Chain A
Amino acid sequence: MQNFLQTFFNTKVMAQYLPDILSGMLVAIWIGLAVVVAGIAGGLALACLRTYRIRACNVFIICFADIFRALPPLVLILLLYFGLPGAGIRLSGPMVLFIVLALTLAAFAEEIFWAGFASIEKGQWEAGISTGLGFSRTLIYVALPQAVRLAMPPLVNRVLAITKMTALGSVIGVSEILSAATTAQSFSGSATPLSMAAIAYLILFLPLVFVARMVERRQDMRRGR
């Protein structure tokens, strides 16, 4: 038992590396927030654009969504970080991480919002259009709020899954939680920084998991009515 605690919860190591882990959390939060904002905004914009049913546009959107849902983000991260400099484009680690995760989230969010749009009755559109709102205003005031409501539970889950992937930044030297922890682990020779990282992730993401649960429950209640 003593041995176990010494390995995973060595208080001296903890005190020493706490600042690193905390600053890693900060980095994770910033990149995570940026990814969520850009990814959701991008996905929503694409889903809205898709409702106009412009053929060339929709082919592009569907290809984008399918490709970015199929590719493992790690592959893209390595490709951009180690591949692009060869073509003369050098992006920082955090930038690569942000771009890849935001695009991945945008692809999933687009499909989730689109599913929301697709399950809105045709009559809702017809009611808006027949009262002179036109397509765009019917989209904004009638269809969008309903699509967003339907999209919430799967969207929150997807946001969780993708923001967790900020840990992938550790392979390209982004000083987020996991990379701070592995660095500390190799210096200290103790597994304690890794357990600190685990705790840090729990602190960041457990509240989000609860939010996801609440959103789902609210949706179920609404459906049950």
Chain B
Amino acid sequence: MNNRPMLEIVSLQKRFGENLILRDINLKVARGELVFIIGPSGSGKSTMLRCCNRLEEPSEGDIILDGRNIMSGTSRDLDQMRLKVGMVFQGFHLYPHMSVLKNVTLAQRKALGRSADEANARAMDMLDRVGLAEKANAMPSELSGGQQQRVAIARSLALDPLVMLFDEPTSALDPELVGSVLAVMKDLKSKGMTMLVVSHEMEFARETADRVVFMDGGVIVEEGAPEEIFGAPKADRTRAFLSRVRR
């Protein structure tokens, strides 16, 4: 097993006009590690996540995926890189005009070049893994939010990503639907997926995360094991944030 980090963020900066949203972010994510990112809204955590597959274009810095810098190379290289970085959005963003199965096979066929049979088989495996194999022929509008999010996870997983990014995956869900999505994420973690998660599910972080990163004002203020961050935060800003969310 090599111990090169799976994902490395190096001196990342992001500006929107005059505003510096991210200032000098450095973060290494090891193979199979689940890094959980917390912080107040506007702290730049989603922007940082979106820089990792260049949905948001970094202003400065490098993103290194499994030893390869995704900031260099052609646009075709970039698409190849994006195949290896799964992304799950707050709003699911399933394609409403396609069945669940089509949602999961589209990129497999058109971006990875898999045959229809191969893509279907892989899609059914992944849908089974998120517990929705029986919904393969349903339309997204017929599913609950939690089910849609699990399909979105299957859609990313079917491409065999090296890393999965989760951008507030449960924030748009009714409370009773959150558990099913978190259970799928926990299962992913146990199977060795490298994950970077922006979320407010502190309980989940405490149980599942290897490391918790607290961001505020575009910088990483503090990072450590969940028990350190939640049990004995060092920085005042971390303490203040945690006491606010716990209330």
Residues of A within 8 A of B (CB): 121, 123-124, 126-134, 137, 141-142, 145-146, 149, 225
A-B contact pairs, 21 of them (CB 8 A): A123-B93, A126-B55, A126-B89, A126-B93, A127-B89, A127-B93, A127-B152, A129-B82, A130-B82, A130-B87, A131-B83, A131-B155, A132-B82, A132-B107, A132-B112, A133-B110, A134-B76, A137-B110, A142-B95, A145-B97, A225-B141
Nearest CB in chain A to that of B56: its residue = A126
| Residue of B whose beta carbon sits closest to that of A135 | B75
A141 to B108, CA, bound (A): 13
What residues of A have a CB within 8 angstroms of the CB of B76 in the complex?
134
How many inter-chain residue pairs (CB < 8 Å) link A and B? 66
Known interface pairs A141-B106, A149-B97; A130-B53 also in contact (CB < 8 Å): yes
B95 and A127 form a contact (CB under 8 A): yes
Q: Is there an interface contact between B96 and A146, defined as CB atoms closer than 8 Å? A: yes
Query: How long is the Cα–Cα vector from A123 to B88 in the complex, in angstroms?
Result: 11
Given A141-B106, A141-B110, A149-B97: A133 and B79 interface contact (C-beta under 8 Å): yes
Q: Are A129 and B91 in contact (CB-based, < 8 A)?
A: no
Q: Which residues of A contact B91 (CB under 8 A)?
A: 121, 123
User: Is A130 a contact partner of B106 (Cβ separation < 8 A)?
Assistant: no
Is the pair A129, B141 in contact by a Cβ cutoff of 8 Å?
A: no
Q: Mark B138-152, 1 if CB is under 8 A from A, else 0.
A: 000100000000001
Q: Are A121 and B82 in contact (CB under 8 A)?
A: no
Given A133-B110, A133-B111, A141-B106, answer yes or no on A124-B141 (Cβ-Cβ < 8 Å).
no
Interfacial chain B residues near A146, Cβ < 8 Å: 95-97
Give, as a whole number of angstroms, the nearest-CB distance from A172 to chain B.
43
B123 part of interface (Cβ distance < 8 Å): no
**Which chain A residues border B86 with CB–CB below 8 Å?**
130
Q: Min CB distance, B113 to chain A, in Å?
A: 11
Q: Are A131 and B97 in contact (CB under 8 A)?
A: no
Residues of B within 8 A of A142 (CB): 95, 106
Q: How many residues of chain B are within 8 Å of chain A by beta carbon?
A: 29
Residue B209 interfacial (CB < 8 Å): no
Q: Bits for B45-85, please: 1 = Cβ < 8 Å to A, else 0.
A: 00000000101000000000000000000011001111101
Of B80, B111, B112, B156, the most chain A CB neighbours within 10 A belong to B111
Task: Tell me whether B159 is interfacial, beta carbon within 8 Å.
Answer: yes
Q: Which parts of B94-112 form the interface with A (CB within 8 Å)?
A: 94-97, 106-107, 110-112
Cβ contact within 8 Å between A132 and B96: no
Cα–Cα, bound, A142→B95 (Å): 7
Q: How many Å from the CB of A67 to the closest CB on chain B?
A: 33
Determine chain A's interface SS by DSSP, over half rule.
Answer: helix
Minimum CB distance partner of B107 in chain A: A131
Set of chain A residues within 8 Å of B156, measured between Cβ atoms: 131
Cβ contacts under 8 Å, A225 to chain B:
141
Contacts of B93 in A (CB 8 A): 121, 123-124, 126-127
Contact across chains for B106 and A133 when beta carbons are under 8 A apart: yes
Q: How far is the CA of A130 from the CA of B155 in the complex (A)?
A: 11
Chain A residue nearest to B81 in the complex (CB): A132
Min CB gap A189→B, angstroms:
58
Indicate if the CB atoms of B95 and A131 lie closer than 8 Å. no
- A149: chain B residues at CB < 8 Å are 97
Residues of B within 8 A of A131 (CB): 82-83, 87, 106-107, 111, 155-156, 159
In the complex, which residues of chain A have a beta carbon less than 8 angstroms from the beta carbon of B141? 225
B79 and A132 form a contact (CB under 8 A): yes
Beta-carbon contact of B111 and A132 below 8 Å: yes
B89 touches A132 (CB 8 A): no
- Check if A130 sits within 8 Å of B85, measured CB to CB: yes
Beyond A131-B156, A132-B79, A132-B82, whether A137 also contacts B97 by CB under 8 A is no
Give chain A residues whose Cβ lies under 8 Å from the Cβ of B95.
124, 127-128, 142, 146
Closest to B156 in A: A131
- In the assembled complex, the Cα of A141 lies from the Cα of B105 at a distance in Å of 12
Contact B106 A132 (CB under 8 A): no
